[in-house]
Structure 1
Amino acid sequence: MDISTLAVFVPACFALNMAPGPNNLLSISNATRYGFAKSCLGGLGRLLAFAIMIALAAAGLTAVLHTSEWLFHAIKIVGAAYLFYLAFQLWRARADEAGESGAPAKGTGSLARQEFLVAIGKPKAILLFTAFLPQFVDQSGVVTDQFAVLGGLFLAMECIAIALYACMGIHARRLFARPGGKRLFNRICAGLLASAASVLLVARRA
Protein backbone atom coordinates (compact mmCIF):
# COMPACT_ATOMS: atom_id res chain seq x y z
CA MET A 1 0.00 0.00 0.00
CA ASP A 2 1.61 3.25 -1.13
CA ILE A 3 1.32 6.85 0.07
CA SER A 4 -0.85 7.88 -2.91
CA THR A 5 -3.46 5.28 -1.93
CA LEU A 6 -3.51 6.53 1.66
CA ALA A 7 -3.72 10.13 0.45
CA VAL A 8 -7.02 9.25 -1.24
CA PHE A 9 -8.27 6.89 1.47
CA VAL A 10 -7.81 9.15 4.51
CA PRO A 11 -9.97 12.13 3.39
CA ALA A 12 -12.62 9.87 1.84
CA CYS A 13 -12.73 7.77 5.00
CA PHE A 14 -12.89 10.80 7.30
CA ALA A 15 -15.83 12.14 5.29
CA LEU A 16 -17.65 8.87 6.06
CA ASN A 17 -16.71 9.14 9.75
CA MET A 18 -18.07 12.68 9.99
CA ALA A 19 -21.29 12.05 8.07
CA PRO A 20 -24.30 12.74 10.33
CA GLY A 21 -25.95 9.53 11.46
CA PRO A 22 -27.57 7.86 14.47
CA ASN A 23 -24.28 7.15 16.27
CA ASN A 24 -22.91 10.65 15.80
CA LEU A 25 -26.24 12.01 16.97
CA LEU A 26 -25.91 9.83 20.08
CA SER A 27 -22.48 11.35 20.75
CA ILE A 28 -24.04 14.82 20.75
CA SER A 29 -26.97 13.77 22.91
CA ASN A 30 -24.84 11.84 25.41
CA ALA A 31 -22.35 14.70 25.72
CA THR A 32 -25.22 17.10 26.34
CA ARG A 33 -26.67 14.91 29.08
CA TYR A 34 -23.64 13.20 30.65
CA GLY A 35 -20.54 15.17 29.63
CA PHE A 36 -17.68 14.94 27.15
CA ALA A 37 -15.74 12.07 28.76
CA LYS A 38 -18.70 9.71 29.12
CA SER A 39 -19.82 10.41 25.57
CA CYS A 40 -16.37 9.56 24.21
CA LEU A 41 -16.07 6.40 26.34
CA GLY A 42 -19.55 5.35 25.23
CA GLY A 43 -18.26 5.57 21.65
CA LEU A 44 -16.11 2.51 22.38
CA GLY A 45 -19.23 0.42 21.79
CA ARG A 46 -19.49 1.82 18.29
CA LEU A 47 -15.81 1.09 17.65
CA LEU A 48 -16.32 -2.54 18.69
CA ALA A 49 -19.28 -2.88 16.29
CA PHE A 50 -17.28 -1.37 13.41
CA ALA A 51 -14.29 -3.60 14.19
CA ILE A 52 -16.57 -6.65 13.90
CA MET A 53 -17.93 -5.37 10.58
CA ILE A 54 -14.43 -4.76 9.22
CA ALA A 55 -13.40 -8.28 10.25
CA LEU A 56 -16.47 -9.68 8.46
CA ALA A 57 -15.62 -7.69 5.34
CA ALA A 58 -12.03 -8.95 5.43
CA ALA A 59 -13.25 -12.54 5.79
CA GLY A 60 -15.72 -12.15 2.94
CA LEU A 61 -18.60 -13.26 5.16
CA THR A 62 -20.75 -10.23 4.30
CA ALA A 63 -21.62 -11.97 1.03
CA VAL A 64 -24.30 -13.65 3.14
CA LEU A 65 -26.11 -10.33 3.49
CA HIS A 66 -26.11 -9.90 -0.27
CA THR A 67 -27.82 -13.26 -0.78
CA SER A 68 -29.99 -13.62 2.31
CA GLU A 69 -33.03 -11.38 2.05
CA TRP A 70 -34.53 -12.46 5.38
CA LEU A 71 -31.29 -11.89 7.33
CA PHE A 72 -30.88 -8.41 5.90
CA HIS A 73 -34.47 -7.50 6.80
CA ALA A 74 -34.21 -9.06 10.26
CA ILE A 75 -31.16 -6.96 11.15
CA LYS A 76 -32.77 -3.89 9.62
CA ILE A 77 -36.03 -4.25 11.56
CA VAL A 78 -34.30 -4.88 14.89
CA GLY A 79 -32.01 -1.90 14.33
CA ALA A 80 -34.89 0.40 13.41
CA ALA A 81 -36.93 -0.76 16.40
CA TYR A 82 -34.05 0.06 18.73
CA LEU A 83 -33.69 3.54 17.22
CA PHE A 84 -37.42 4.16 17.71
CA TYR A 85 -37.03 3.04 21.33
CA LEU A 86 -34.16 5.49 21.88
CA ALA A 87 -36.16 8.27 20.23
CA PHE A 88 -39.11 7.54 22.54
CA GLN A 89 -36.88 7.58 25.62
CA LEU A 90 -35.26 10.85 24.58
CA TRP A 91 -38.62 12.45 23.79
CA ARG A 92 -39.87 11.59 27.28
CA ALA A 93 -36.63 12.58 29.07
CA ARG A 94 -37.08 15.23 31.75
CA ALA A 95 -35.37 18.52 30.99
CA ASP A 96 -33.50 18.41 34.31
CA GLU A 97 -31.82 15.08 33.41
CA ALA A 98 -29.19 16.77 31.27
CA GLY A 99 -25.97 17.85 32.84
CA GLU A 100 -23.18 16.25 34.78
CA SER A 101 -24.26 17.40 38.20
CA GLY A 102 -28.00 16.93 38.09
CA ALA A 103 -29.53 13.74 37.68
CA PRO A 104 -29.46 10.03 37.41
CA ALA A 105 -26.76 9.37 34.84
CA LYS A 106 -26.20 6.24 32.83
CA GLY A 107 -22.96 4.35 33.37
CA THR A 108 -20.28 4.24 30.72
CA GLY A 109 -21.06 0.57 30.03
CA SER A 110 -24.70 1.40 29.36
CA LEU A 111 -23.76 4.16 26.90
CA ALA A 112 -21.26 1.87 25.16
CA ARG A 113 -23.89 -0.86 24.84
CA GLN A 114 -26.31 1.68 23.40
CA GLU A 115 -23.74 2.81 20.79
CA PHE A 116 -22.90 -0.81 19.94
CA LEU A 117 -26.53 -1.80 19.37
CA VAL A 118 -27.20 1.24 17.17
CA ALA A 119 -24.10 0.58 15.04
CA ILE A 120 -24.52 -3.19 14.73
CA GLY A 121 -28.20 -2.82 13.77
CA LYS A 122 -27.36 -1.22 10.41
CA PRO A 123 -26.78 -3.94 7.79
CA LYS A 124 -25.91 -1.33 5.19
CA ALA A 125 -22.91 -0.33 7.31
CA ILE A 126 -21.56 -3.87 6.91
CA LEU A 127 -22.13 -3.69 3.16
CA LEU A 128 -20.42 -0.29 3.12
CA PHE A 129 -17.22 -1.81 4.47
CA THR A 130 -17.49 -4.55 1.85
CA ALA A 131 -17.82 -1.99 -0.94
CA PHE A 132 -15.53 0.78 0.37
CA LEU A 133 -12.41 -0.84 1.84
CA PRO A 134 -11.63 -3.24 -1.04
CA GLN A 135 -11.25 -0.27 -3.41
CA PHE A 136 -8.01 0.58 -1.63
CA VAL A 137 -6.63 -2.95 -1.41
CA ASP A 138 -3.83 -4.05 -3.74
CA GLN A 139 -4.72 -7.59 -4.77
CA SER A 140 -1.06 -8.36 -5.44
CA GLY A 141 -0.24 -7.81 -1.78
CA VAL A 142 -1.34 -9.50 1.44
CA VAL A 143 -5.03 -8.62 1.55
CA THR A 144 -5.62 -9.33 5.25
CA ASP A 145 -2.70 -7.10 6.29
CA GLN A 146 -4.02 -4.27 4.13
CA PHE A 147 -7.51 -4.67 5.58
CA ALA A 148 -5.97 -4.46 9.05
CA VAL A 149 -4.19 -1.20 8.20
CA LEU A 150 -7.22 0.36 6.50
CA GLY A 151 -9.55 -0.82 9.26
CA GLY A 152 -7.21 0.56 11.92
CA LEU A 153 -7.11 3.93 10.17
CA PHE A 154 -10.90 3.96 9.89
CA LEU A 155 -11.29 3.28 13.62
CA ALA A 156 -8.68 5.93 14.50
CA MET A 157 -10.56 8.55 12.49
CA GLU A 158 -13.83 7.36 14.00
CA CYS A 159 -12.32 8.23 17.42
CA ILE A 160 -11.70 11.77 16.16
CA ALA A 161 -15.29 11.98 14.88
CA ILE A 162 -16.63 10.80 18.24
CA ALA A 163 -14.64 13.52 20.04
CA LEU A 164 -15.72 16.24 17.59
CA TYR A 165 -19.40 15.35 17.87
CA ALA A 166 -19.09 15.18 21.67
CA CYS A 167 -17.64 18.72 21.56
CA MET A 168 -20.71 19.78 19.60
CA GLY A 169 -22.81 18.29 22.38
CA ILE A 170 -20.97 20.31 25.03
CA HIS A 171 -21.62 23.51 23.10
CA ALA A 172 -25.25 22.49 22.60
CA ARG A 173 -25.60 22.02 26.36
CA ARG A 174 -24.42 25.57 26.93
CA LEU A 175 -26.72 26.86 24.21
CA PHE A 176 -29.76 25.07 25.64
CA ALA A 177 -29.02 25.84 29.28
CA ARG A 178 -32.61 26.39 30.39
CA PRO A 179 -35.07 23.51 30.94
CA GLY A 180 -37.20 24.60 27.98
CA GLY A 181 -34.15 24.64 25.73
CA LYS A 182 -33.03 21.22 26.97
CA ARG A 183 -36.46 19.79 26.30
CA LEU A 184 -36.42 21.26 22.80
CA PHE A 185 -32.96 19.82 22.13
CA ASN A 186 -34.00 16.38 23.40
CA ARG A 187 -37.05 16.37 21.16
CA ILE A 188 -35.09 17.52 18.13
CA CYS A 189 -32.65 14.64 18.70
CA ALA A 190 -35.58 12.25 19.23
CA GLY A 191 -37.12 13.36 15.94
CA LEU A 192 -33.83 12.88 14.10
CA LEU A 193 -33.38 9.39 15.59
CA ALA A 194 -36.93 8.47 14.57
CA SER A 195 -36.21 9.77 11.06
CA ALA A 196 -33.05 7.66 10.91
CA ALA A 197 -35.08 4.63 11.98
CA SER A 198 -37.62 5.32 9.23
CA VAL A 199 -34.85 5.58 6.62
CA LEU A 200 -33.39 2.30 7.89
CA LEU A 201 -36.75 0.56 7.52
CA VAL A 202 -37.07 1.49 3.84
CA ALA A 203 -33.41 0.75 3.03
CA ARG A 204 -32.82 -1.80 0.31
CA ARG A 205 -29.84 -4.02 -0.28
CA ALA A 206 -27.25 -2.64 -2.67
Structure 2
Amino acid sequence: MTLELLMLYFPNLLIILTVFTVGVASPGPATLMILGTAMSRGRASALALSFGIVTGSFFWGTVAAFGLVAAMKTSADLFTAMKVAGGIYLFYLAFRAWRSALTTDQSLTVKASDSVSLGRSYVRGLLLHLTNPKAPLVWLATLSVGLGETAPFPFLILAITLCMLVAMIIFIGYAVLFSTPTATRFYISFRRPFDAVLGFLFGAAAIKILTSRLN
Protein backbone atom coordinates (compact mmCIF):
# COMPACT_ATOMS: atom_id res chain seq x y z
CA MET A 1 0.00 0.00 0.00
CA THR A 2 1.54 3.31 -1.10
CA LEU A 3 1.99 6.27 1.21
CA GLU A 4 -0.28 8.38 -1.00
CA LEU A 5 -3.05 5.80 -0.76
CA LEU A 6 -2.55 5.51 2.98
CA MET A 7 -2.88 9.26 3.48
CA LEU A 8 -6.01 9.30 1.30
CA TYR A 9 -7.76 6.71 3.49
CA PHE A 10 -6.15 7.72 6.79
CA PRO A 11 -9.34 9.40 8.15
CA ASN A 12 -11.28 6.21 7.38
CA LEU A 13 -8.64 4.19 9.21
CA LEU A 14 -8.96 6.39 12.29
CA ILE A 15 -12.73 5.90 12.30
CA ILE A 16 -12.38 2.12 12.05
CA LEU A 17 -9.80 1.93 14.85
CA THR A 18 -11.85 4.22 17.10
CA VAL A 19 -15.06 2.23 16.67
CA PHE A 20 -13.25 -1.07 17.08
CA THR A 21 -11.31 0.06 20.17
CA VAL A 22 -14.46 1.22 21.93
CA GLY A 23 -16.18 -2.06 21.12
CA VAL A 24 -13.30 -4.25 22.29
CA ALA A 25 -12.58 -2.29 25.47
CA SER A 26 -16.24 -2.21 26.53
CA PRO A 27 -17.26 -4.73 29.22
CA GLY A 28 -18.64 -7.94 27.77
CA PRO A 29 -18.38 -11.75 27.98
CA ALA A 30 -14.78 -11.72 26.74
CA THR A 31 -13.70 -9.21 29.39
CA LEU A 32 -15.55 -11.15 32.10
CA MET A 33 -13.88 -14.39 31.09
CA ILE A 34 -10.43 -12.83 31.06
CA LEU A 35 -11.06 -11.25 34.45
CA GLY A 36 -12.20 -14.50 36.05
CA THR A 37 -9.45 -16.58 34.47
CA ALA A 38 -6.68 -14.14 35.38
CA MET A 39 -7.73 -14.06 39.04
CA SER A 40 -8.44 -17.77 39.46
CA ARG A 41 -5.85 -19.39 37.18
CA GLY A 42 -3.14 -16.79 36.79
CA ARG A 43 -1.58 -14.73 34.05
CA ALA A 44 -0.51 -17.55 31.70
CA SER A 45 -4.02 -18.97 31.39
CA ALA A 46 -5.50 -15.48 30.94
CA LEU A 47 -3.01 -14.74 28.16
CA ALA A 48 -3.82 -18.04 26.41
CA LEU A 49 -7.51 -17.18 26.72
CA SER A 50 -6.88 -13.73 25.26
CA PHE A 51 -5.10 -15.20 22.24
CA GLY A 52 -8.07 -17.51 21.68
CA ILE A 53 -10.43 -14.53 21.72
CA VAL A 54 -8.21 -12.58 19.32
CA THR A 55 -8.06 -15.58 16.98
CA GLY A 56 -11.85 -15.74 16.92
CA SER A 57 -12.04 -12.02 16.27
CA PHE A 58 -9.54 -12.33 13.42
CA PHE A 59 -11.66 -15.07 11.87
CA TRP A 60 -14.78 -12.90 11.88
CA GLY A 61 -12.81 -9.88 10.65
CA THR A 62 -11.55 -11.88 7.67
CA VAL A 63 -15.04 -13.22 6.96
CA ALA A 64 -16.45 -9.69 7.10
CA ALA A 65 -13.70 -8.38 4.83
CA PHE A 66 -14.72 -10.75 2.05
CA GLY A 67 -18.36 -9.75 2.34
CA LEU A 68 -19.47 -13.10 3.74
CA VAL A 69 -20.98 -11.63 6.90
CA ALA A 70 -23.42 -9.58 4.85
CA ALA A 71 -24.45 -12.76 3.06
CA MET A 72 -24.65 -14.71 6.33
CA LYS A 73 -26.84 -12.03 7.83
CA THR A 74 -29.61 -12.95 5.38
CA SER A 75 -29.67 -16.53 6.70
CA ALA A 76 -32.06 -16.54 9.65
CA ASP A 77 -31.41 -20.21 10.35
CA LEU A 78 -27.64 -19.72 10.58
CA PHE A 79 -27.85 -16.80 12.99
CA THR A 80 -30.46 -18.57 15.07
CA ALA A 81 -28.10 -21.52 15.37
CA MET A 82 -25.27 -19.17 16.39
CA LYS A 83 -27.49 -17.49 18.97
CA VAL A 84 -28.42 -20.84 20.50
CA ALA A 85 -24.81 -22.04 20.52
CA GLY A 86 -23.57 -18.79 22.06
CA GLY A 87 -26.33 -18.72 24.66
CA ILE A 88 -25.71 -22.33 25.69
CA TYR A 89 -21.98 -21.72 26.01
CA LEU A 90 -22.53 -18.64 28.17
CA PHE A 91 -24.99 -20.57 30.34
CA TYR A 92 -22.28 -23.21 30.72
CA LEU A 93 -19.84 -20.55 31.91
CA ALA A 94 -22.49 -19.24 34.30
CA PHE A 95 -23.01 -22.76 35.68
CA ARG A 96 -19.26 -23.16 36.28
CA ALA A 97 -19.11 -19.83 38.09
CA TRP A 98 -22.14 -20.61 40.25
CA ARG A 99 -20.78 -24.05 41.09
CA SER A 100 -17.53 -22.44 42.18
CA ALA A 101 -19.49 -19.92 44.28
CA LEU A 102 -21.19 -22.81 46.12
CA THR A 103 -17.87 -24.50 46.91
CA THR A 104 -16.85 -23.82 50.50
CA ASP A 105 -13.16 -24.69 50.19
CA GLN A 106 -11.40 -22.03 52.21
CA SER A 107 -7.87 -23.19 51.34
CA LEU A 108 -8.17 -22.05 47.75
CA THR A 109 -5.05 -20.94 45.93
CA VAL A 110 -4.63 -19.82 42.37
CA LYS A 111 -4.20 -22.93 40.23
CA ALA A 112 -0.94 -23.35 38.40
CA SER A 113 -1.07 -23.47 34.62
CA ASP A 114 0.26 -26.35 32.54
CA SER A 115 0.25 -27.06 28.82
CA VAL A 116 -3.16 -28.76 29.05
CA SER A 117 -4.85 -25.92 30.93
CA LEU A 118 -3.26 -23.34 28.62
CA GLY A 119 -4.60 -25.15 25.58
CA ARG A 120 -8.00 -25.42 27.21
CA SER A 121 -7.98 -21.71 28.01
CA TYR A 122 -7.16 -20.91 24.38
CA VAL A 123 -10.02 -23.06 23.13
CA ARG A 124 -12.43 -21.48 25.64
CA GLY A 125 -11.58 -18.02 24.34
CA LEU A 126 -11.87 -19.15 20.73
CA LEU A 127 -15.26 -20.79 21.31
CA LEU A 128 -16.54 -17.71 23.11
CA HIS A 129 -15.91 -15.53 20.08
CA LEU A 130 -16.86 -18.01 17.38
CA THR A 131 -20.26 -18.68 18.97
CA ASN A 132 -21.08 -15.02 19.62
CA PRO A 133 -23.51 -13.91 16.89
CA LYS A 134 -22.76 -10.27 17.66
CA ALA A 135 -19.04 -10.62 16.81
CA PRO A 136 -19.41 -10.80 13.01
CA LEU A 137 -22.01 -8.03 13.05
CA VAL A 138 -19.67 -5.77 15.05
CA TRP A 139 -17.00 -6.33 12.42
CA LEU A 140 -19.49 -5.65 9.64
CA ALA A 141 -20.57 -2.40 11.30
CA THR A 142 -16.97 -1.37 12.03
CA LEU A 143 -15.78 -1.86 8.48
CA SER A 144 -18.94 -0.34 7.00
CA VAL A 145 -18.47 2.86 9.00
CA GLY A 146 -14.91 3.45 7.84
CA LEU A 147 -14.88 1.96 4.36
CA GLY A 148 -16.18 3.53 1.23
CA GLU A 149 -17.33 1.53 -1.76
CA THR A 150 -14.03 2.20 -3.54
CA ALA A 151 -11.70 1.28 -0.66
CA PRO A 152 -8.84 -0.86 -2.03
CA PHE A 153 -8.19 -4.36 -0.74
CA PRO A 154 -4.71 -3.51 0.71
CA PHE A 155 -6.36 -0.87 2.89
CA LEU A 156 -8.85 -3.47 4.11
CA ILE A 157 -6.03 -5.82 5.08
CA LEU A 158 -4.21 -2.99 6.87
CA ALA A 159 -7.36 -2.04 8.79
CA ILE A 160 -7.96 -5.62 9.96
CA THR A 161 -4.30 -6.06 10.93
CA LEU A 162 -4.29 -2.88 13.01
CA CYS A 163 -7.60 -3.85 14.65
CA MET A 164 -6.06 -7.19 15.64
CA LEU A 165 -3.09 -5.39 17.19
CA VAL A 166 -5.51 -3.19 19.15
CA ALA A 167 -7.43 -6.27 20.33
CA MET A 168 -4.21 -7.98 21.44
CA ILE A 169 -3.05 -4.92 23.35
CA ILE A 170 -6.38 -4.49 25.13
CA PHE A 171 -7.00 -8.14 25.99
CA ILE A 172 -3.40 -8.78 27.02
CA GLY A 173 -3.58 -5.61 29.11
CA TYR A 174 -6.68 -6.96 30.86
CA ALA A 175 -4.95 -10.31 31.43
CA VAL A 176 -1.93 -8.65 33.01
CA LEU A 177 -3.99 -6.18 35.06
CA PHE A 178 -6.36 -8.77 36.52
CA SER A 179 -3.56 -11.22 37.34
CA THR A 180 -1.60 -8.89 39.62
CA PRO A 181 -0.94 -10.04 43.21
CA THR A 182 -3.51 -7.52 44.47
CA ALA A 183 -6.19 -8.88 42.14
CA THR A 184 -5.30 -12.45 43.10
CA ARG A 185 -5.57 -11.70 46.81
CA PHE A 186 -8.93 -10.07 46.21
CA TYR A 187 -10.18 -13.15 44.41
CA ILE A 188 -9.00 -15.49 47.15
CA SER A 189 -10.63 -13.34 49.81
CA PHE A 190 -13.94 -12.80 47.99
CA ARG A 191 -14.04 -15.81 45.69
CA ARG A 192 -17.58 -16.98 46.43
CA PRO A 193 -19.42 -13.64 46.01
CA PHE A 194 -17.19 -12.76 43.05
CA ASP A 195 -17.98 -16.04 41.26
CA ALA A 196 -21.67 -15.61 42.05
CA VAL A 197 -21.69 -12.17 40.40
CA LEU A 198 -19.68 -13.53 37.49
CA GLY A 199 -22.21 -16.32 37.04
CA PHE A 200 -25.06 -13.81 37.10
CA LEU A 201 -23.37 -11.66 34.44
CA PHE A 202 -22.68 -14.65 32.19
CA GLY A 203 -26.30 -15.74 32.60
CA ALA A 204 -27.54 -12.25 31.78
CA ALA A 205 -25.32 -12.16 28.67
CA ALA A 206 -26.72 -15.54 27.58
CA ILE A 207 -30.30 -14.31 27.93
CA LYS A 208 -29.47 -11.12 26.06
CA ILE A 209 -28.00 -13.06 23.14
CA LEU A 210 -30.85 -15.57 23.00
CA THR A 211 -33.53 -12.87 23.07
CA SER A 212 -31.83 -10.31 20.85
CA ARG A 213 -33.04 -9.56 17.35
CA LEU A 214 -30.34 -9.33 14.71
CA ASN A 215 -31.14 -6.44 12.40
Shorter-chain TM band: 0.7 to 0.9
TM-score (norm 2): 0.84
Aligned in 2, Cα 1:46/1:73: closer, same or farther, shift over 3 Å? same
The C-alpha deviation readout for 1:145-171, integer Å capped at 9, x for no partner, is: 222111111111111221232213544
Corresponding residue for 1:157?
166
The C-alpha deviation readout for 1:99-135, integer Å capped at 9, x for no partner, is: 145x999611101111111111111210121121132
The C-alpha deviation readout for 1:157-193, integer Å capped at 9, x for no partner, is: 1112212322135443222332xx1111111111111
Tell me, in whole angstroms, the C-alpha distance in 2 between the residues paired with 1:55 and 1:18.
20
Give yes or no for contact 1:97–1:104 (8 Å, CA) kept in 2: no
- 1:115 maps onto 2:125 in alignment: yes
- 1:176 maps onto 2:187 in alignment: yes
Aligned in 2, Cα 1:12/1:68: closer, same or farther, shift over 3 Å? closer
Tell me, in whole angstroms, the C-alpha distance in 2 between the residues paired with 1:106 and 1:85.
20
Amino acid at match of 1:123: P
Give yes or no for contact 2:108–2:188 (8 Å, CA) kept in 1: no
Corresponding residue for 1:10?
17
Amino acid at match of 2:72: L
Corresponding residue for 1:24?
31
Amino acid at match of 1:116: L
Aligned in 2, Cα 1:104/1:132: closer, same or farther, shift over 3 Å? closer
Aligned in 2, Cα 1:97/1:110: closer, same or farther, shift over 3 Å? farther
Residue 107 of structure 1 aligns to a residue in which SS? helix
Aligned in 2, Cα 1:127/1:7: closer, same or farther, shift over 3 Å? closer
TM-score (norm 1): 0.88
**Following superposition of structure 1 onto structure 2, how do residues 4-153 of structure 1 map, counting pairs within 5 Å?**
4-93=11-100, 94=103, 99-101=110-112, 107-142=117-152, 144-153=153-162
- 1:203 maps onto 2:212 in alignment: yes
Residue 82 of structure 2 aligns to a residue in which SS? helix
Query: Structure 1: which 5+ residue stretches go unaligned?
Result: none
Give yes or no for contact 1:27–1:169 (8 Å, CA) kept in 2: no
Aligned-pair identity in percent equals 25
Aligned in 2, Cα 1:55/1:98: closer, same or farther, shift over 3 Å? farther
Instruction: Note the C-alpha offset of 1:37.
Output: 2.4
Query: Structure 2: which 5+ residue stretches go unaligned?
Result: 1-5
Equivalenced residues, count: 202
Tell me, in whole angstroms, the C-alpha distance in 1 between the residues paired with 2:115 and 2:99.
15
